[in-house]
Amino acid sequence: MALALLAAVAHAVFGALQKGRHDPWLSRGAIDAAIFVMSAPVALLLVPWPEGRVWWILLGALGIHFVYKVLMAMAYSRAAFTVVYPVVRGTGPLATVAFASVIFAERYTALQWLGVLALSGGILMLAAVNLRGATAGRDELRAGLGVAFLGGLSVAVYTTYDAYGIRATPDPFTFLAWFFLITSVDFPLVAAWRYARMADPPALGPLLRRGVAGGLVAFVSFGAVMLATRLDKVGQAAVLRETSVVFAALIGWAFLHERVGPLRAALVALIALGAIVVEFG
């Protein structure tokens, strides 16, 4: 539970870092470049190299996370953080619990399913409220919502797949070291290609600093939830992580100057209540 909640806080920060003032494609590329540089010495020098089917698991994770990162960059390019983020995080837990019930034979009580519905419903209603409050670019916002919904499904896929991967290896920290190295090789190349074709590219200094900060946060966010899925139910950890929307609302209000208001605050409370019901129901 502690690992999943830690992942929730870190993931809200991570999402805000990618959405900030820089192009989200460049932000994600800078973050992945920092992850690659920081994880390379650990993976190459301090832990054993993967063997046998672990290589195939890691290559599968590379493909799945690449799709997720592309969808998130597309969504963030089209809509506000407080619109995109709730849709992604609201779709993810419901689909993850369903996937985990099939793949890992996890069982949940009727009360826990009610909690999942309350959490996901509250998150999706939060996105609807944010969309209704938009005054310009509604077509772009709708397009962003559609991509964000696909991003939420990809979250369920990678959460379930990563849980399978970290459970399939004897040492979870060895798997994490190689996971971060392998899954961070793609977007720096995408960002470099995009950067080279920009008419007015941003200064590299602030972008790289954001990348280092995002990389450090990513270790906590993804590492904590993957360890949580190894220790406990995959669906339960996924639901608790999606309380990141609560923290994202605070970040959007405090740092991105996006309004919260009483209705959004009530929906955030519903999200938190849903998570509590899933954990203790």
Structure tokens at 205: 């200094």
* Confidence bin at 133 (pLDDT 50/70/90): low
Cα–Cα distance list, 277 to 117, 159, 273 (Å) = 10, 21, 6
Task: State the pLDDT at residue 80.
Answer: 72
Enter the pTM of the model.
0.88
Q: Answer yes or no: is pLDDT of 105 > 70.
A: yes
Task: State the maximum Cα–Cα separation within the chain, in Å, rounded to a whole number.
Answer: 55
* Confidence bin at 78 (pLDDT 50/70/90): confident
* Confidence bin at 137 (pLDDT 50/70/90): low
Lowest mean pLDDT among 13-22, 52-61, 147-156, 256-265: 13-22
Nearest to 185 by CA among 60, 26, 33: 33
* Confidence bin at 150 (pLDDT 50/70/90): very high
* Confidence bin at 134 (pLDDT 50/70/90): low
* Confidence bin at 46 (pLDDT 50/70/90): very high
- Residues of the chain with pLDDT > 70, as a percent, come to 92
Cα–Cα distance list, 47 to 92, 136, 146, 176 (Å) = 32, 51, 41, 10
Does 136 or 170 have the greater pLDDT score?
A: 170
